[in-house]
Chains A and B, each alone.
Chain A
Amino acid sequence: MAVDRSSHLKRLEDESIHIMREVVAEFSNPVMLYSIGKDSTVMLHLARKAFYPSKPPFPFMHIDSLWEFREMGEFRDNLAKTLGLNIIVEYSEEGKKANINPFDHGSNYYTNVMRTEPLKAALTKYGFDAAFGGGRRDEEKSRAKERVFSFRTASHGWDPKNQRPELWHIYNGRVAKGESIRVFPLSNWTELDVWQYIMIENIDLVSLYLAKPRPVVERDGTLIMVDDDRMKLEPGEVPEEKMVRFRTLGCYPLTGAVESNATSVQDVVTEMLIAKTSERQGRVIDHDEAGSMEKKKREGYF
């Protein structure tokens, strides 16, 4: 099934495709960051549409924090196989050796070592001059002003003062040697748009997005799933089976579950329409301090 041709979802789809084609035409070595989450899965789906009947003319890349939900890796490998896509997987060697983990090292340091740094290193290693990301402007206040083409210095830094105005649908893709851009083709999508699109286009997702009884413990008001035996339980904590699903995915120790009975995408959309909490609440890293997203961005997290 395809989206209705006069609907807002079709306009969003057309816009995302237009953006992807511009990048492919103007950059010599683009890559699509693929996190296995719903946004990047939608982005991947759009990339297939944008270049059909060609395959997307760029590789995909997953920065594996080594603390992802187990199911995510299986899903990724399976997807690469069925669609015949090249998905590069990168992780931090040093982080692995030093056993950097979200329990002992704090979410800030951990995220930096296991996500931000390996991402920068991989971009440099392959010489990618454009990286597609699944970020949306509705996710967080500091993202409302993010450009579709977001410029990065040679050291992958983001200078909020030095971003180019974007007018009409004309994108300025010129960069000096060593500089690069992050591209956000889903800029104008909202969480609800993404879910409605997944439902109509029948896009396959990791089943973690749907409710199922899972072993969880409650920490600081957040439900954390005990996904493998690396999870250290605090005194008194006993994993409990609860009917839960996830609204965002990432490292399991940093991703909060919500209690839910939504066992199909349609159920999820229905729940969304009566939702009372925004999706980022499930991401532990945002609670650190006001403006934290903006700081992470300056450091190259996106």
Chain B
Amino acid sequence: MQQAAVSENLTPEAISAYLESQEKKSFLRFITCGSVDDGKSTLIGRLLFETKLIFEDQLAAIERDSKKHGTTGEDIDLALLVDGLEAERQQGITIDVAYRFFTTDKRKFIVADTPGHEQYTRNMATGASTADLAVLLVDARHGIQIQTKRHAFLVSLLGIRHVVLAVNKIDLVDFDKLRFNQIRDEFEQFGRSFDFDTLEAIPISARYGDNVVARSDRTPWYQGPALLEHLENIEVQSDLEQRPFRMTVQWVNRPNLDFRGFSGTIASGKLHPGDPVVVAGSGREATVSRIVTMDGDLPEGRASEAVTVVLDREIDVSRGDILVPPSHRPEVTDQFAAHIVWMAEEEMFPGRPYLLKIGTKTVTAQVTEIKHRIDVNTFDHLAAKSLGLNEVGFCNVSLSAEIAFDPYEANRETGAFILIDRLTNATVGAGMVWFALRRATNIHWQALDVSKNSRAALKGQKPAVLWFTGLSGSGKSTIANLVEKRLHAQGRHTYILDGDNVRHGLNRDLGFTDADRVENIRRVSETAKLFADAGMIVLVSFISPFRAERRMARDMMEDGEFLEVYIDTPIDVCRQRDPKGLYAKADAGELKNFTGVDSPYEAPEIAEIAIDTTTGEPEAHAERIVEMLQEKGIVS
């Protein structure tokens, strides 16, 4: 109906005027959230339908599909317009974020359609991250649900300031004003704590169209706007342009020796030729001489524009740097506190290294502490040692290098980051920075004159960490001991860190949960690193069941220093040997979290050497390891 403004026999002038108005439309990105069956798909289908974004051939296809999968009997099921992939269509639920488009004469809309099911927090966060407004759906018969509160919380966490509460299926409660008021009041009550800029409750029927595009006569008591009317008129163009200038450099543009520009998207603020800028972090300063685009130089660059900036002098600027005004600099830190939404099956443990991408800069990062986990249904703060899929935590994060940021609240573009798994490259977490952490103490790393290499050279060896991994009873300690004896006999300087021994001292406060195992390994790795720094050959004998932790230990050492020794003894053989009677206990259920029994062991993929102990004598195995050290030049 919005597009019917043009009919087939208009004058050329009228057409030109109309086309021109079409080119100046504004833009709104919003997200819809609701529980299964609240009518989200039906609502989006209705919006597409009413704005004529559904064409006749698509309509024919849905009519066909309605007979096959539909839930509306003989009527067309508008929800089928938007339910996507084949598999989920058959399951009858929506399980990912889908983006839909429709347009009216005033605005172009992008809708992020996200499912409401409990485990899909991750999808909601994804959809909300680029949205300026959220439509929360409730079924008028059921009112505010736990999910509604969760959606409101996530929407606010991701920085959305405008919310619509669409009270759907109002037809099924006989267009009852009291019922609507009751739901609206309840929502306003708890919505207050989120401090949204606008909150509009609208009674609708997605299926029959009441108050979706136009106000309905069936709700004469409702004085507010229809949903689409509200979406078309709400002013969300945030004050991005009023904020301090920020531009993240994506690419250095260097076609020839006479031109050097910095290409990037202006995240906030404005920029003019003649403005002074500094590189956040290094503090190097210059003046903008040109703002270049293919359509000509700009007298002013504005938030969200993709430009290329030329400076008046050669200063060091590269990808990942942020250009800012000298008067309003962002914070620069290597430690901050942030909300993290965990998006991977594999849990997040403090101490594990991940890649962190903020803006266009990527650094290594680890969560040093989970201050608390937030229950997304009750908003309670809970203690946590790890974050699982779809959990939200407030965490301290430490980085391998300094980055510049603004608090997420102040700037979504410069305060947001993603976390990437280093092995699988998957995006595993999304974060919103709150504030920089000042260092607890002012300890700077002392650059000492006597170096690791000089210490090792004095001993006639190269430092190394031999990391023995394998099941309990596989033979790690036995073989490590034999290796040490041989090295010692050759006059090498060695030290053994043994799992059981370390647990009696340094790590006696740790148990056997996954989180404690990670911390256990972290401390041992740090200790091994100190010994290596002293020039020693360190033999670490630890079950160390997780690949990620062994990788963490590997990454801590210098290249070539870490040698993984996999003592490859099958569980049946270990169980048979059972030197400490531990398998018997674990099998009887007296020992919990025992590796191989009720806790996993992940065999190495990249061990420097693997030893099969089902054949051969321990002495022969030890000899092989010493030979490897010779081959690698650790010992001569």
Query: Chain A: residues with CB nearer than 8 A to chain B?
Result: 2-11, 13-14, 17-18, 21-22, 24-25, 48-55, 137-138, 141-142, 144-145, 160, 164-170, 172, 174-176, 187-188, 190, 192-193, 196, 199-200, 266, 269-270, 273-278, 281, 290-291, 294
Distance from B409 Cβ to chain A, minimum over Cβ atoms (Å): 14
Q: Does B24 reach chain A (CB closer than 8 Å)? A: yes
Bound together, the chains give a CA A192 to CA B108 distance in angstroms of: 11
> Which of B55, B98, B255, B308 sits near A55, CB closer than 8 Å?
B255
Docked-complex contact A7 and B25, CB < 8 angstroms: yes
Q: Is the CB of B84 within 8 A of A172?
A: no
Q: Are A290 and B413 in contact (CB under 8 A)?
A: no
Q: In the assembled complex, which residues on chain A have CB atoms less than 8 Å from the CB atom of B96?
A: 145
Docked Cα-Cα span, A169 to B417, in Å, equals: 10
Stretch at the interface among B1-9, B192-200, B600-608: B1-9
Residue of B15, B110, B259, B305 near A188 (CB, 8 A) is B110
Task: Tell me the smallest distance from the CB of B235 to a CB of chain A, in Å.
Answer: 13
CB distance from B264 to the nearest CB of A (A): 7
Could you give, for residues 447-489 of chain B, a 1 whenever the CB lies within 8 Å of some chain A CB and a 0 otherwise? 0000000000000000000000000000000000000000000
Instruction: Please state if A167 and B263 are interface contacts (CB–CB under 8 Å).
Output: no
List the one stretch of B120-128, B522-530, B579-587, B619-627 in contact with chain A: B120-128
Instruction: Specify which chain A residues have a CB less than 8 angstroms from the CB of B18 in the assembled complex.
Output: 273
Question: Is B531 an interface residue, CB under 8 A from the partner?
Answer: no
What is the distance, in angstroms, from A84's C-beta to the closest C-beta of chain B?
A: 12
Contacts of B8 in A (CB 8 A): 274
Knowing A18-B250, A144-B99, A170-B416 are in contact, say whether A165-B292 is a contact too (CB < 8 A).
no
**Do B254 and A193 have beta carbons less than 8 Å apart?**
no
Cβ A144 vs Cβ B84 within 8 A: yes
- Contact of B26 with A by CB under 8 A: yes
B103: chain A residues within 8 A (beta carbon)? 190, 192
A52 to B306, CA, bound (A): 11
- How many chain B residues sit at the interface, stated as a range, is 35 or more
Binding site for A on B (CB under 8 A): 3-4, 6-8, 15-16, 18-19, 22-27, 55-58, 65, 81-87, 89, 96-101, 103, 107-108, 110, 113, 122-123, 125-126, 129-130, 250-251, 253-255, 259, 261, 263-265, 292-295, 302, 304-306, 308, 319, 343, 355, 357-360, 412-413, 416-418, 420, 425-427, 430
Q: Is the pair A144, B98 in contact by a Cβ cutoff of 8 Å?
A: yes
Of the residues B87, B123, B263, B308, contact of A165 by C-beta under 8 Å: B123
Distance in angstroms between the alpha carbons of A25 and B321 in the assembled complex: 13
Q: Which 3 A-B pairs have the closest CB atoms?
A: A291-B86, A17-B306, A52-B294
Contacts of A51 in B (CB 8 A): 251, 253, 263
Chain B residues with Cβ under 8 A from A138's Cβ?
A: 100-101
Q: Give A196 to B24 CA distance when docked, in angstroms.
A: 11
Cα A227 to Cα B16 with chains together (Å): 34
What is the chain B residue whose CB lies nearest that of A18? B265
Determine if A166 and B425 form an interchain contact, defined as CB atoms under 8 angstroms apart: no
